[in-house]
Amino acid sequence: MLFEIVSEIPGRLRLRCGRDLMTEAEARGVSHSLMAVPGVLFAEAHAANGSILLRTDPADPAARTAALDAVRSLDVLALPSVEEPGLGLRETELEMALENNRFQMRVVRLLLARAARRALVPAPARVALVCVRAARHILRGLRVLLSGRMAVEVLDAAALAAALSRRSFSEAGTIAFLLRLSSLMEEHVNARARLALRDGLVVRAESVWQVVDGRDVRIATADVREGMVLHLAQGGVLPVDGTVVGGVGELDESSMTGEAALVRKEAGSTVFAGTALRDGDLLVRVAAVPGAARIDRIARMVEESSDLKASAQGRAERLADAIVPYSFLAFLGILAVTRNLRTAMSVLMVDYSCAIKLSTPVAVMSAMNEAARHGIVVRGGRYLEAMAAADTVVFDKTGTLTNAAPAVERVISLGDLGEEEVLRLAACIEEHFPHSMARAIVAEAERRGLSHESELHAEVRYIVAHGIATRVGEKDVLIGSAHFLFEDELVERPAGLDELVEREAPAASVIYVACDGALVGAICVSDPPRAEASEVVRELRGRGMDELVMLTGDAEPAARRVASELGLTSYRAQVLPEGKSAHVEALRREGRTVMMVGDGINDSPALAAADVSVAMGDASDVARAVADVLVTEPSLGALVTARDLSERLMARIRRDYRLIVGFNTLLIALGLGGAISLTTAAYLHNASTLAITALNARPLLRE
């Protein structure tokens, strides 16, 4: 494809290839194919004028050459075409950029059309156009009125009708223009928030287990096809829509419905992508591989769910509509007293509702959007509100406060099996379970070159936060905590075991392995606190979160050490999952607003019980699926950012209220006093609404 470079700064190139070369789908296809070129950080093609924006690594001149070569090699007769937006991380970035472009284009077109109308259209025709545009708003207002509601749309319609009745067509045109601009801005902010939400809803499990001839075979999620039967173990998240063909389980569908209640699924039940199996074991026949459109529908559902809206947002919408009848009453009252229609119309032209109704959702959506830019996906405005109000943070220990990638420090053989056999056995079982401890064991086996994937095991029984019981070959194998093996499963505890473990790995968390009822080994996993954890705890305390609690299933010494090192208010060791959620509920009963931060399958009940739950980026799929807030960066620093963002959002909403009420009251007073004309009051009112809305779309945090 031929092109011309029209703008270049290091690492950023704008090319023009000519108009009418590509369709929208081909533009998306070109963007995708260019982003696949090594060294190209981002590519964005536009069908309207055939321009391509390329961002490459500025420090790598070869990347620039590669990118230009890739554009040159595109065949205009066979351009790659992608109809539906993808679900990858870079695709979301592309969709965000395309949404920005769409918004800018619509604003430019709106401004160009307004300028063209003023310059080229004769006055009578312009009046007709204004009437047509105003008529749309008036009809909408009438429809709302006829449906028995007295909402902001009625007030907009009344203001436009009043302007038309006074033959003030320019004023009516300006009101219609400002309403359109406000709605474009609102749509844009909503679209961006929806994209961020969609990104948060996509749980990108890299691989799944396919059932082939009765055996589980690991395959890449990208290779999943319709008709396949997948084995979903407890804690797994469905990457597809499907029908249950075997097993029984309880699914958490909160990612779809916002409801934390578990739903029982058995043979014949329909299950949906993004939902998490909290309990049980399911075989699922794939009905449809999810695309962006399906996830979009879910995102819209979440977005529109009144349960998930910030109560400030809901309050603003209700307040805005509730004010409307009073505006009309004030209009009639002033008309009765002054007998002057023009003066009375001040309260119709200048009202509080538009600004309140428009500015609060834009502020909330904009904050959600900004959070996404900082790697924090918030699944509803109400969670930002809860985060601002939270005075208590409950942390899980392993994988949350401690390192995301714990490492096996020591493998102790305690029976007939050697160290490597113990590790191989543990890795063979743990590879099915997405928890940081499990990942550490699997990673250590891989590091030692131990092959384990070909080993067969079946009837896996996973007891959350306790351990796993299964059969490997001919042996009954147990793996898990001391409590699980020695108290629940009654494995004999050898004399001097605690002293041995204390001596070999005093700071480690220990996982025990038993074969046919006899202890064969202990795996010591070192689990140091994250580098930033101490600072984050201090900063959260400085932001009014005075109760910082750690709950862990780990043993007392490890818990005490971490709590003291990080300066937490309190901790509880050897807590079971139900104990965690009970503790969270107890804190809430004390009147505290609780934020729960967790990462594992065992945290999901507590996550569901909290006022707001946060899952770290390296959390298990199920925690990511059920949490209200998802941190995509593997750093606790995001908690401080989220707290700052939510507090500033609430402050912004409060400031908006004061500004809207103050400024518009002043305008009404000036209008009633005759100090400003009705037209000026209407201009100032609409301009201030737009300005407040535009200001609400600004970032709350410094970049």
Total number of residues binding other proteins (CB under 8 A)?
18
> Any residues with CB less than 8 A from the CB of 125 and at least 6 apart, and which?
none
Work out the angle between the directed axes of helices 169-201 and 89-120 (0-180°, nearest 10): 170
114 in contact with other proteins (CB under 8 A): no
Reduced to 3 states (helix: H, G, I; strand: E, B; else coil), residue 431 is: coil
- Inter-residue contact 621 to 434 (CB < 8 Å): yes
23 in contact with other proteins (CB under 8 A): no
From 401, 392, 384, select the one nearest 643 (Cα to Cα): 384
Considering only 7, 65, 183, 451, the residue that binds other proteins (CB under 8 A) is 7
- Pairing outcome for strands 570-572 and 547-551: parallel
Segment contacting other proteins (CB under 8 A): 48-56, 568-576, 632-640, 672-680? 48-56
119 in contact with other proteins (CB under 8 A): no
76 in contact with other proteins (CB under 8 A): no
Residue closer to other proteins by CB (options 14, 493) is 14
> Exposed e or buried b for every residue in 199-223, given b needs 16+ CB within 10 A?
bbbbbebeebbbbeeeebeebeeee
Helix (H) or strand (E) holding 219: strand 215-220
Q: How far is the CB of 111 from other proteins (least distance, A)?
A: 9
Considering only 101, 305, 569, 680, the residue that binds other proteins (CB under 8 A) is 101
- Pairing outcome for strands 241-252 and 262-265: antiparallel
Considering only 23, 38, 49, 586, the residue that binds other proteins (CB under 8 A) is 49
108 in contact with other proteins (CB under 8 A): yes
Residue 322 and residue 232: Cα distance in Å, rounded? 49
48 in contact with other proteins (CB under 8 A): yes
Residue closer to other proteins by CB (options 26, 252) is 26
Residue closer to other proteins by CB (options 49, 570) is 49
Look up tokens 């309140």; give the residue.
356
- Inter-residue contact 550 to 606 (CB < 8 Å): no
Q: How far is the CB of 48 from other proteins (least distance, A)?
A: 4
Considering only 2, 5, 6, 669, the residue that binds other proteins (CB under 8 A) is 6
Residue closer to other proteins by CB (options 8, 83) is 8
Q: How far is the CB of 669 from other proteins (least distance, A)?
A: 40
Q: Mark residues 509-538: x for contact with other proteins by CB under 8 A, - for none.
A: ------------------------------
Considering only 12, 90, 315, 493, the residue that binds other proteins (CB under 8 A) is 12
Considering only 31, 33, 51, 509, the residue that binds other proteins (CB under 8 A) is 51
DSSP string for residues in 245-257: EEEEEEEE-HHHH
Tokens of 241: 């829509």
Residue closer to other proteins by CB (options 51, 398) is 51
Alpha carbon 458 to chain centroid, angstroms: 36
- Inter-residue contact 40 to 46 (CB < 8 Å): no
Considering only 2, 62, 76, 105, the residue that binds other proteins (CB under 8 A) is 105
222 in contact with other proteins (CB under 8 A): no
Segment contacting other proteins (CB under 8 A): 108-116, 141-149, 241-249, 484-492? 108-116
73 in contact with other proteins (CB under 8 A): no
- Inter-residue contact 645 to 313 (CB < 8 Å): no
What CA–CA distances, in Å, run from 527 to 74, 214, 243, 436, 463?
50, 37, 39, 10, 22
Considering only 112, 125, 261, 267, the residue that binds other proteins (CB under 8 A) is 112
Query: Which residues contact other proteins (rule: CB under 8 A)?
Result: 6-7, 9, 12, 14, 19-20, 46, 48-49, 51, 53, 101, 104-105, 108-109, 112
